[in-house]
Structure 1
């Protein structure tokens, strides 16, 4: 891609996620303990950005709309410096416009999505193509104290969120899942900075490494049940700190309706009931989902969204007709908008 002249406009997009499957402290390649996480990808809501280069303006202070998106503005400034250097152009400030439909404060990566969309828009405006690692490093610097792994190429990764680097690529794809998502605590944004912080001991690291090994095996074998067990174990560990009052009810519903487990965001309110969407298991999914929706409602935990991991929709969701209770909540893994499936 050839460099563009100043005054150009670029565009960028980034997805969100649905909280974590695994989160803790793990050993990196050198054996050093390092905070890391594996997120549950979700196609659907996301952030988009438009960046217009304005010659003669401060490259360290781009304007941003809506106002208050300070992390995205910081990311744009960092990206300008990097992209201008790569393109052989003088760094210039500009105007950054953001749009998106990710609920903020629920643990779905809304801030990181804004940041990555902004970086991609700046790169597009400068006619450069930043490698994923460079985007991740800029995002980590801009989004401090941590960013989410929204940059890699769709493969499940263990991501060091405070450093912006991949600790391990776990495989090519997650096992086939259908997720019934809900927002705990009435969907109120979580103040994660107010939560108590406990230093990880050696026993904690060993426990997280065991879960890491199990998740690696689940991805290799495409074993949704094993992944569900890992996600549930991680959620229970996280609940020692977060303490959602609905957690036990959520876990009980999952067991009752034949789900493989539950997952909960480590920083926010989103949670999911996980179902095996493999070829054989998918045949009974509409009945399981209907039972799950009813049970969640009975416990005062209304479902907010339903989605699948990539590549699942055709076989797992085709039987959700528009009249099915799940149809209005369905986000597909290949569409960026909510839609009911065909009959």
Structure 2
């Protein structure tokens, strides 16, 4: 869908709208890649996760100034910025005057762990504002608004399919396929679960070297092959290699512990949020004795101080 969809007339007359957005579990791959014009672009591939997310409710106040948007709870400045932008977008599409309103956000997402909490808030907000105007905005429009509101965005507005997404430009560089290879992920927290100011992190040491471009181009090709062949082992190799490269920025002291536990329990690799403290150990669901391996992995993470969080599947 590349154009806004007008909902039924009854929805168009409503002044209250709702929206929801899921989260993710960090990245499978993140680095610098060449786009279709041979420019080096920062981009990522997220690991989608069902369950936690953000829900937004937006109540329009007709006749109020368009910048007069209140937010509950306080402090959700990115969501508020997205609401103001979405109001202007939707009013223009409806050819009417924009107005402010009240935004209410609910959800169970931890903040600052690299799970896309702010993007989830922003997407849910944009969807709620659009719903209050009787519209459904296309993912490309939501991405544009999200980048303007946040400075960078995860590709949650595009659903759960694997995409190479330029997070600071809000555009898809490549659709890698319909789904990631099947994997079971044992999630955990690094650094005691301390939050991270994700926008304060550099993408990579600069300037970018040809070696970086070559390394990430190779991982991009490997991931495409893993998706095409549903190759979980290759997915694990890509994710581990990407996390190891990202160690130049994050320097997680627990990284050798994660890879050691993965090796001892027969996992295919590790996965680390490239801008946060959430991480996971990846298993092939077809591995013999999987339940025992998952239990051993969880116990080992607990012993090493990497608090296990949840086990889920791709």
- TM-score w.r.t. the length of structure 1 is 0.86
Q: Would you say how many aligned residue pairs link Structure 1 and Structure 2?
A: 305
Root-mean-square deviation (CA), in Å?
A: 1.4
Question: Pick from 270, 275, 280: which aligns with 1:272?
Answer: 280
In the alignment, structure 1 segments of 5+ residues that lack a partner are 310-343
Aligned match for 2:295, one of 290, 294, 303: 290
1:324-343 equivalent positions in 2, closer than 5 A: none
Deviation at 1:191, TM superposition (A): 3.6
Question: 1:65 — aligned with what?
Answer: 72
Mapped contact 1:7–1:55 kept (Cα < 8 A): no
The equivalent of 1:201 in structure 2 is 209
- 2:246 pairs with 1:241: no
Residue 5 of structure 1 and its aligned partner are, at CA, apart by 5.7
Instruction: Select 1:148's aligned residue among 154, 166, 173.
Output: 154
Matches for 1:161-200 after TM superposition, within 5 Å: 161-192=167-198, 195=201, 198-199=205-206, 200=208
Q: Secondary structure at the match of 1:89?
A: coil
Provide runs of 4+ in structure 1 moved above 3 Å.
2-7, 191-197
Runs of 5+ unmatched residues, structure 2: 1-6
**Could you tell me which residue of structure 2 aligns to residue 34 of structure 1?**
41
Higher relative contact order (CA 8 A, sep 6+): 2
Of 296, 300, 304, which residue of structure 2 is paired with 1:299? 304
d(CA) in 2 for partners of 1:154 and 1:182? Answer: 21
Q: Matched residues in 1 for 2:245 and 2:253: separation?
A: 14
Partner of 2:3: none
Of 6-15 and 133-142, deviating more is 6-15
